[in-house]
Amino acid sequence: MTSDTRARFHPLRPPTKLGRAAVLLAGPVLWVVALDIVAWAAGQTDLILVGFAVAGTSFLLGVVILLPARALRLREEREPEPRR
């Protein structure tokens, strides 16, 4: 049994551009901080470069995966609702 109604999500407050940017950058920044702390504690300061590489890679993968998904969601939200 299927339903013709569509579930729609409406946040109580729409996110600000600053909030979106903060969330987008938080993941890679947290990776860099965590790996830098581990590298410093282990005495392997050369590994800080690895931290930057991991952060950059995670940022790029996030952009590659999330931007098309967002575009698809926005396109689906713009489609007219089916008639009953």
> How far is 38 from 33, CA to CA, in rounded Å?
9
Question: Is position 3 within any domain?
Answer: no
pTM to 2 decimals? 0.48
DSSP state of 47: G
Mean pLDDT across the chain: 80
Q: Count of domains in the chain?
A: 1
Is residue 35 within 8 Å of 47, Cβ to Cβ? yes
- Residue 1's pLDDT is 52
Dihedral, CA of residue 37, residue 35, residue 50 and residue 70, to nearest 10: -140
**Residue 33 belongs to domain spanning:** 17-78
Question: Is position 1 within any domain?
Answer: no
Question: Is position 84 within any domain?
Answer: no
> How far is 74 from 28, CA to CA, in rounded Å?
25
pLDDT 10s digits, 12-69: 888 888 888 888 788 778 877 887 888 888 888 777 787 778 778 888 888 898 888 8
User: Is residue 37 within a helix (H) or strand (E), and if so which, with residue range?
Assistant: helix 17-42
Question: Is position 66 within any domain?
Answer: yes
pLDDT 10s digits, 62-82: 889 888 888 888 888 888 776
